[in-house]
Chain A
């Protein structure tokens, strides 16, 4: 059974870089057709897609965050990572990693999620 687990610091200072890793277990991150994504949820607010990566390394970012986001993949460790630079209090959120998976007919959905990790931006 595929599982995703986020890890990283729970507290980041303003102007610094937030770094998180998602470890995939029970399956290979190199499986074709899947995208691996990051989504965040500020306290009391809705879901925001941050970006996604294909195992080959192709990346896709939310235009509103693109200048500050880098997503990378390490297939040897079965992990993918998020870096968000120049953080402010507005980046305080629960950060989730998830798999974007196609149905037989090619419709994608986020079918497996990590439990989420809370990141607070504060000095």
Chain B
């Protein structure tokens, strides 16, 4: 099974900050990497697929990069609505998928 490890587990930042979250796969997954945002009490929302492609309707301040085993999600200028938990997910072995443990982004 492919294991996904995110860092950090939690992060404090201020509105306007640039934030980066990393995700590492236990084996090469090419670009088969998705990012989700989840707010309390809500279902996750797909932000980025194929490591760097923005899902329709997602603001351009979100971006993704990486391939192989190392990936990053970057928010260029944090907005109040961006404080949430972010998950990476490998789709290399679709439909058998695995998620990272999540990164909680909190207001400083």
Contacts and interface: CB of A to CB of B under 8 A. Distances in A.
Contact of B46 (A47, A54, A110): A110
B99 A46 contact: yes
Nearest to A110: B46
B95 interface: yes
Q: How large is the interface on A (under 10, 10 to 19, 20 to 34, 35 or more residues)?
A: 20 to 34
Contacts of B99: 46-49
Interface stretch (B15-23, B48-56, B65-73, B75-83): B48-56
Nearest to B85: A46
B96 A49 contact: yes
Interface residues of B, number: 27
A55 to B, nearest CB: 12
A110 B45 CA distance: 8
A62 B95 CA distance: 10
A52 B34 CA distance: 17
A44 to B, nearest CB: 10
B13 interface: no
B91 interface: yes
B63 interface: no
B102 to A, nearest CB: 5
Contacts of A10: none
A80 interface: no
Interface string B19-56: 00000000000011010101000111110011001010
B52 to A, nearest CB: 10
B34 A109 contact: yes
B46 A109 contact: yes
Interface of A: 35, 37, 46-49, 52, 54, 60, 62-63, 96, 98, 100, 103, 105, 107-111, 113-116
Interface of B: 1, 31-32, 34, 36, 38, 42-46, 49-50, 53, 55, 87, 89, 91, 94-102
